[in-house]
A and B are shown apart, each in its own frame.
Chain A
Amino acid sequence: MNNSVAKEKIISLRKKRSLEDMRFKYYGFTAMCLSLAVLVFLLYTIFSKGYTAFQKTIVLLEVDYNQEVLKLTPDSSVEEIEKGKFFRVKKQAIENFFPDLSKSDIKLVKKLFSINVDNEIKDYFLDNPEVINTKQQIWVTAHSDVDQLLKGNSRRDVPEDRRKLNDIQLSYVDQLVEEKRVKQVFNNFFFTKADSRHPEIAGVAGSFMGSLFTLFTVFILSFPVAIGASVYLEEFAPKNRITELIEVNISNLAAVPSIVFGLLGLGVLLNVFGLPRSTPLVGGSVLALMTLPTIIIACRASLKAVPPSIKEGALAVGATKTQAVFHHVVPLALPGTLTGTIIGLAQALGETAPLIMIGMIAFIPNIPTGLTEPSAALPVQIYLWVESAERGFQEKSAAAIMVILIFLFMMNAIAVFLRNRFERKW
């Protein structure tokens, strides 16, 4: 009798336990689905807003490369061509863009074209100098307002005074569309140009290179220091109060808000050492300080994960401590170390606040070519564009977010690749 009661109790408990199991499984599943849904929504928003930035609108323009107007001759050298009066050619082309334009209409038509058209007319001539004294049909970049209108990003059904393009301009654009003198093509400017006040010719190349130079500085500064510090702490340091204090403080440093490092850069690197403002050198140094603790923690974890028997084996055949560490422990810890470093670099890539403090928020219309040239960085570029009033920058900022995400994704892929490539079993 007693026995069967006990048995029932055990069975009911077992049911309860397996129910608990199921419940927990579904909790986990729901949580995962929820986070995936948020991620998909986020990516969808970014993509749907940003994909139009990869296209630009171009307009067919008939240009008369008259040597009188250009003040050039068929034998002009490249330097002379650079100084040619292309703005006069452009002016002429726009005056003849539609038949019988009045003076006020010319002004309106002019606003349909990008500021960059002069350069494009010149570049075409540089590539084809034989077109002198001929009329050429060339595709030139349209103004961002036209671009946004044709992409459907700005609406035409709002009152005229709240539109960028007035009714006359709208009718011109419609005429262009009808005559097929306007089309959309791949926006190479987005990948080859630096920042600009004009959305149609603003690109991420400048901030991308800035980020690349910054990350290079971070890597060069933080990787050797982090390896040295973690090897010392893990393998050589005596276990005493001072090392304990250092260890605790490394963990604390990893949690210090990044803007504090920015202030440090501003106060010490710029004001005391007088390093050049807004440069990848300073930005990279600040971010290196910020990522050092993260990398040290990752390095130490991977050093700790190397079985001590390997080190003992090396010591037992008469290796010195340094040999045992650098021949055996460090190589085995390398995959983990590299992964940690790349995670630290990824953190540095997305950091904005410290860069604002050291002036990398300045408007830089050039692509930097070195560590000591002023430059922007991708996250700061996104911030700048999001802040801009022009509609054309909205899609640009979403597209720049895509660029930074792809950059991050590639860094993580490299980390995974390195880990798989160098990981050895023992």
Chain B
Amino acid sequence: MSNSKILANGVDVYYGSKQALFGISMDIKEKEVTALIGPSGCGKSTFLRCINRMNDLIDICKVSGSIKVDNEEIISEKTDVVSLRSKIGMVFQKPNPFPKSIFDNVAYGPTIHGLVDSKNDLEEIVHSSLKKAGLFDEVKDRLNEPGTSLSGGQQQRLCIARAIAVNPEIILMDEPCSALDPIATAIIEELIDELRLNYTIIIVTHSMQQAARVSQKTCFFHLGELIETGETNKIFTNPDNTKTQDYITGRFG
């Protein structure tokens, strides 16, 4: 049995006066892939963005309750958001490489955090991150070309490389494959499976097949509530809740 990495307790989120999440409590284990599924607007992305405090960017968004990462409370005024985010990487729905070279995209994180002292170290981090993201062989000859010149799937892997370059422990993925074709999706799914060995991964997905393929744990959200959470196998074969049953069999959502 592995340890708890993230422990959420009674997380409420409001957008202005509208409540988006209702008392979410969840226990996410280390070095596992946890999938968050549910129909659109059920709050799974909102929950994901609570974990690295991305919701701070939205002025009207208010988060209460408790989320502990490695037993440290992060929903607090005192939390150092910058160090939290360097510990928790994030990959977005639409690939968003910086309009810079491939090399600079990956090098940006290590540079601002001062993780490297020399150019050689930086090169090594960039190369190893691109290798871990399975992109290195495709781009090794054109590291100075703009990141935006890559294909969608390559851009998304570049974003994954950018996230792992700062050596995070957790990677959040917000529908990372929704803008990609099936082949690029398969490559990313394979990659997620490899990354699981070193990172704790939380992935929001609309595709139940994807959740079934890549995750060990699955959480089902509906209308801002966490309906059911458990082993992926169990959720997809024998869920406890009828709503979960209805959703995965395609009766709604």
Contacts and interface: CB of A to CB of B under 8 A. Distances in A.
Interface of A: 238-239, 307-320, 323, 327-328, 332, 424-426
B94 A309 contact: yes
A67 to B, nearest CB: 74
A312 B148 contact: no
Interface of B: 52, 54, 57, 59, 82-83, 85-86, 89-90, 92, 94, 96-99, 108-109, 112-113, 146, 148, 159, 162-163, 165-166
Given A309-B92, A310-B99, A316 B148 contact: no
14 contacts: A312-B54, A313-B92, A313-B98, A313-B159, A315-B57, A315-B85, A316-B163, A317-B85, A317-B112, A317-B162, A317-B166, A318-B86, A319-B112, A327-B108
Contact of B96 (A239, A312, A319, A332): A312
B108 A316 contact: no
B99 A318 contact: no
Contact of B52 (A309, A316, A328, A332): A316
B112 A316 contact: no
A424 B94 CA distance: 18
Contacts of A310: 96, 98-99
Given A319-B112, A323-B112, A426-B148, A313 B96 contact: yes
Contacts of A317: 85-86, 89, 108-109, 112, 162-163, 165-166
In the complex, which of the residues B59, B99, B109 has the most CB atoms of chain A within 10 Å of its own CB atom?
A: B99
A313 B89 CA distance: 10
Contacts of A239: 59
Given A315-B57, A316-B52, A317-B108, A425 B90 contact: no
Nearest to A320: B82
B91 to A, nearest CB: 8
Nearest to B95: A309
In the complex, which of the residues A312, A313, A314, A426 has the most CB atoms of chain B within 10 Å of its own CB atom?
A: A313
Q: Which 3 A-B pairs rank lowest in CB-CB distance, beginning with the nearest?
A: A318-B86, A317-B109, A309-B96
Contacts of A327: 108, 112
A302 to B, nearest CB: 14
Contacts of B52: 316
Nearest to A309: B96
Contacts of A424: 99, 146
Contacts of B57: 308, 311-312, 315
Contacts of A308: 57
A328 B82 contact: no
B101 to A, nearest CB: 11
Nearest to B108: A317
Contacts of A311: 57
A286 B195 CA distance: 60
B82 A426 contact: no
Given A332-B99, A425-B148, A315 B54 contact: yes
Given A239-B59, A320-B82, A323-B112, A314 B92 contact: no
B113 A318 contact: yes
